[in-house]
Amino acid sequence: GAYYSDHGSGTVDCWEIVKSSNNTLSSKQSTLFYNETINNLAFKKIVSGEGFSCGGIREGGLVCWGPNSDSLRVSNVSESFLVLASAKGSICGILDSSREVKCWGDSDSFSGCPIGVHFISLTAGAYHFCGIREDDHGVECWGSFNFSSVPKHSGFMALASSDVTTCGIREDDLVLDCWSRNATLQPDYNPPLELCSPGLCRPTSCLEGEFAFNASNLNEPDLTSLCVRKDLQICSPCASNCSAGFFLSSPCTTNADRICTACSLCQNSSCWDVCGLQPSSEKNWHHMIRLAIIVASCISCFLLILLSWCFLPRMFATKPEEGTKKQFKSCIGKPDQLDGEATADLFPSVSVTSCPGTAQIFRLTELKDATNGFKEFNVLGRGSYGFVYKAVLADGRQVAVKRANAATIIHTNSRDFEMELEILCNARHCNIVNLLGYCSEMGERLLVYEYMPHGTLHDHLHGGLSPLSWSLRLKISLQAARGLEYLHKEVEPPIVHRDVKTSNILLDSDWGARIADFGLFTSSEKDLDLSGDMKSDVYRFGIVLLEILSGRKAYDRDYTPASIVDWAVPLIKQGKAAAIIDCYVALPRNVEPLLKLADIAELAVREDPSERPTMSDIVILLQQIVKDGLLL
């Protein structure tokens, strides 16, 4: 198609497509849609449904014509519309004045139409409508539709619909995301053809309220533009507001959309009111308290340094020389003792490896630069600890930075943080996500981990990413089991995960499985029943094995029973394990490994913890599948 187009407007003619005697298709002017009242009108937008057409008049207003147009009950409409969309028996439009949606016709097709919500884009299927919200570019659908299938956490640049399917282009990565009016998409569905790009390439500058899409956001080194000609660009509408729990940290500019940051990262008065963190009447008082604390701390530090300068030389003079400098022995970079030469430098560079093969200490400025200032588009995910950001260090390494939220910082003291760090950075294994370093400057608690480019196991099993072959699923099962076995058996003190699930199993560049999110701020060892908690890890790992085998989620209300354990275990015990095997992946010639994997999963999810194997037992069983030559 054309690389760009201009919006035109003019008069309307209607045609019918007819079949001639030699079975060829031709067109003739339609008498069914002839209406002399529209002959002198100029339109800027036209849509058609089942037996009717409607047009937005250039000067403002909406008229409909055709044999079924009376059923719409459109009359005396004077408003101007930004977008029109038509279902089979209804029509909806976005008002230019308020950006709200107004609909006519078959009420079942637009039941649940949002009231008071502002939209920038609209599309329609046979019996449903979907729109892109103005505030955060999220999607809402209404009418006869399966609302559970609508994406919840993505912003979209464009939408288009066929009769039962709606597709959109995600604005962060330009991936085509589709959802259906039914519970699931048919395997052979065809996405609407309109969505071939995130928008029209055009030669003019972006207007106010728009930004030029930057192809560098796609992280493709050789991709500089999505338009064939360098003088063309794609303009996208700016989002206006931030969702609840976020504040505006950077407004929309000509080259980038607005940036919203989580309220847990709010650190100054500019976002207090939006996030509701502190009444404005208390701000000055808190500033004074903070200033007093800083002044008192500075005076105390000065006195301490003065006393140390006076007395320490005398104390060390009575002891024999050590001869060599003590090295950093602590994994988290704290020296056991510093000699006189070391204390002379009060601010040494800490962006160095504190001991071979262990955690590196990072400056806060390094990690801010690496994450583009902890921008929203760098977010990989979030958990109870805080947000996880993709980062590129100055040396080119890609890493994942986990930033503690306010709740985590409040509920854990510095000593707990240091103890956890000691455990984390001593844990080293090829099947866990290893800690590379940390930063604890300016009240921040940042953990730097290896970056896993292939995402989570959950993404591939349930999130629409590339499906995994059976040989790869078996490999992932064994490697994840080895990672958990290492945490249970070889780390001192042992680490119990407590949240084993497919979203906490990540895939590295070689598609190797890595256990993530373990060991952070758990209960003290004296409060733990380690044996019982390890058995709980085994149970959750059994659920992971069932998800790998079946492709079903651990709990899914679209199925009966909703629990994967309640559904799969009876079938396995009846000798019908083949019935739970994922039907969307081609069966291998030899299904014996999958049946054995089902048996292992059934052992792991037994109700009586004493009947469950240990992770070491599971590793042996999975290795036996390989040893017996049962690889797929």
Domain boundaries, the chain: 15-197, 198-263, 349-451, 457-627
Q: Which CATH class is domain 349-451?
A: alpha beta
Angle between helix 564-573 and helix 530-550 axes, rounded to 10 deg? 80
**Distance between start and end Cα atoms, the chain:** 45
pLDDT of residue 8: 40
Q: Is the pLDDT of residue 336 over 50?
A: no
Exposure class string for 227-249: b at 16+ Cβ within 10 A, else e: beeeebbbbbbbbbebeeebbbb
Query: How many CA atoms within 13 Å lie on the side-chain side of 440?
Result: 15
pLDDT of residue 313: 52
pLDDT of residue 359: 72
pLDDT of residue 224: 65
Residues 252-259 have a mean pLDDT of 76
pLDDT of residue 591: 87
Task: Report the CATH architecture of 15-197.
Answer: 7 Propeller (2.130)
User: Could you tell me which residue, 280 or 571, shows the higher pLDDT?
Assistant: 571
pLDDT of residue 289: 65
Six token digits for residue 607: 């109700």
Angle between helix 530-550 and helix 615-627 axes, rounded to 10 deg? 40
User: What single DSSP character describes residue 10?
Assistant: B
Distance CA 439, CA 448 (A): 8
Q: In the chain, what is the greatest distance between 2 CA atoms, to the nearest angstrom?
A: 115
pLDDT of residue 4: 33
CA 315 remoteness from chain centre:
57
Name the residue among 10, 360, 375, 24 with its Cα closest to residue 172: 375
Confidence of residue 287 (pLDDT cuts 50, 70, 90): low
Q: For 466-487, what is each residue's pLDDT tens digit?
A: 788 898 999 999 999 999 999 9
Q: For 489-500, what is each residue's pLDDT tens digit?
A: 998 888 999 999
Q: 314 exposed, middle or buried (CB, 10 Å; 0-12, 13-18, 19+)? A: exposed
User: Could you tell me which residue, 265 or 23, shows the higher pLDDT?
Assistant: 23
Q: Which CATH class is domain 457-627?
A: mainly alpha
The runs of H, that is alpha helices, within 318-381 are 340-344, 364-370
Residues 274-285 have a mean pLDDT of 57
Distance CA 53, CA 46 (A): 7
Beta bridge partners of 26: 18
Measured from the Cβ of residue 163, the count of other Cβ atoms closer than 10 Å reads: 12
Q: Is the pLDDT of residue 166 over 80?
A: yes
The lowest-confidence range among 22-26, 105-109, 164-168, 395-399 is: 22-26
| Three-class secondary structure of residue 563 per DSSP | strand
Name the residue among 572, 486, 494, 574 with its Cα closest to residue 531: 494
Residues 85-90 have a mean pLDDT of 92
Name the residue among 255, 214, 218 with its Cα closest to residue 238: 255
Confidence of residue 356 (pLDDT cuts 50, 70, 90): very low
Q: Is the pLDDT of residue 107 over 50?
A: yes
Whether 349-451 and 15-197 are alike in CATH topology: the answer is: no
pLDDT of residue 216: 61
| Three-class secondary structure of residue 495 per DSSP | coil
**Residues labelled catalytic:** 499
Six token digits for residue 493: 């003190």
Is residue 596 a contact partner of residue 608, using CB atoms and an 8 Å limit?
no
Is residue 399 a contact partner of residue 393, using CB atoms and an 8 Å limit?
yes
Percent of the chain with pLDDT over 90: 31
User: Could you tell me which residue, 100 or 339, shows the higher pLDDT?
Assistant: 100
Q: For residue 158, report the phi and psi dihedrals to the nearest 5 degrees.
A: -155, 150
Q: Is the pLDDT of residue 278 over 60?
A: no
Confidence of residue 266 (pLDDT cuts 50, 70, 90): low
Q: Is the pLDDT of residue 577 over 70?
A: yes
User: What single DSSP character describes residue 151?
Assistant: -
H or E element that contains 404: strand 398-404
Q: Is the pLDDT of residue 598 over 90?
A: yes
Please report, for the chain, how many H helices and E strands are present, in that order. 12, 27
pLDDT of residue 12: 64
- Which of 36-45, 50-59, 424-433, 536-545 has the highest average model confidence (pLDDT)? 536-545
- For the chain, give the mean pLDDT: 78
User: Could you tell me which residue, 497 or 20, shows the higher pLDDT?
Assistant: 497
Q: Enumerate residues 6+ apart whose C-beta is below 8 A from 163.
A: 125, 126
Q: Enumerate residues 6+ apart whose C-beta is below 8 A from 631.
A: 471, 474, 593, 625
Beta bridge partners of 161: 166
402 is in an annotated binding site: yes
Q: For 215-232, what is each residue's pLDDT tens digit?
A: 666 656 566 677 777 778
pLDDT of residue 480: 96
Q: Is the pLDDT of residue 349 over 50?
A: no
User: What single DSSP character describes residue 38?
Assistant: G
DSSP letter string over 506-556? EE-TT--EEE-S-SSS---GGG--HHHHHHHHHHHHHHHHHHHHH---SB-
Confidence of residue 63 (pLDDT cuts 50, 70, 90): very high
The runs of H, that is alpha helices, within 231-382 are 272-275, 283-317, 340-344, 364-370
Is residue 56 a contact partner of residue 80, using CB atoms and an 8 Å limit?
yes
Is residue 498 a contact partner of residue 533, using CB atoms and an 8 Å limit?
yes
Region at 230 (left for phi over 0; alpha for psi -120 to 50; beta for the rest):
alpha
pLDDT of residue 158: 84
Distance CA 550, CA 595 (A): 12
Residues 580-588 have a mean pLDDT of 87
Confidence of residue 309 (pLDDT cuts 50, 70, 90): low
- pTM (whole model) above 0.75: no
Residues 382-397 have a mean pLDDT of 87
Q: For residue 387, report the phi and psi dihedrals to the nearest 5 degrees.
A: -80, 150
DSSP letter string over 408-452? HHHHS-HHHHHHHHHHHHH---TTB--EEEEE--TT--EEEEE--
**Which residue type sits at 416?**
D
pLDDT of residue 25: 77
Residues 232-238 have a mean pLDDT of 79
Question: What CA–CA distances, in Å, run from 108 to 105, 111, 122, 138?
Answer: 9, 5, 17, 23
